[in-house]
Amino acid sequence: MMEASDVELVSRLAQGESPALDEIMRRHEDLVFAVCLRLMGSREAALDASQETFLTVFRKADRFKAEAAFTTWLYRVATNTCFDLLRKAKRRRADPLPEYHEPVDVTTLDDLESVEVRPLIDEALRSIPPDYRAAVVLSDLHGLGIAEIAEVLEIPEGTVKSRVFRGRRLLAETLGNIHGT
């Protein structure tokens, strides 16, 4: 038996078949968590954002239009969820609890390099504005093209290019400062 496509699963979910959500989550939870982790900056916040993303998918499955790829829509839901949570957190600032366990970084091939460099990159990502961070994360860490990022973030392609460029420049400055160069 053939496996149902993402579009079929969302359609079934929109018709009230909640088991379809389990399959969508199984397929895409790593991707959603990776995006949320980079945008939110902490494991706990990323877990909350991931959970909220899938709740939104459940609630708004009927709004998915198969004109775009399902993953594009899912990226949009995840980034919007992160932006909403970041805005709420900004209103009620609190010091984050220390993190003792970081999940494996699926965006790198070298485990040793990931362990050494990842905290620096995460710190640098947290230091840049969320709009730039989202564009850089989607482009450089998840490999989306300019047009797809524009669709996910619902902004013009020129704005995406600008945010990626400026975000990369801010990251380079921050990483240069961390290394004392």
Q: Which amino acid, residue 152?
A: V
Stated length of the chain = 181
Dihedral of CA atoms 17, 8, 5, 10 in degrees, nearest 10, equals -60
| DSSP codes joined into one string, 10-24 | HHHHHTT-THHHHHH
Tens digits of residue pLDDT in 76-133: 999 999 999 988 877 655 445 444 444 444 444 454 455 566 777 788 888 899 899 9
All domains in the chain, ordered by first residue:
1-96 (1.10.1740.10), 107-181 (1.10.10.10)
Q: Is the pTM of this model over 0.95?
A: no
Which sign does the torsion angle of CA 153, 34, 49, 20 carry? positive
Over the Cα atoms of the chain, what is R_g?
17
